[in-house]
Amino acid sequence: TVAGHRLLTRDAARYRSYFPDLDIISPETHP
């Protein structure tokens, strides 16, 4: 994975489990 990569997804929990190094943007993390 690329550190600092931003992923826009509604499945943030799933992507966090797959890609824990990603900086994930989601409704849960950025209301």
Q: How confident is the model at residue 17, as a pLDDT?
A: 74
Using DSSP, state whether 8 is helix, strand or coil: strand
pLDDT on residue 3: 46
Domain hosting residue 30, numbered range: 1-31
Q: Do residues 1 and 18 make contact, with C-beta atoms less than 8 angstroms apart?
A: no
Domains contained in the chain, number? 1
pLDDT in tens, 11-28: 667 766 766 666 666 666
- Report which of residues 21 and 3 the model is more confident about: 21
Give the predicted TM-score (pTM) of the model: 0.27
pLDDT of residue 14: 72
* Angstrom distances, CA of residue 20 to CA of 9, 15: 14, 7
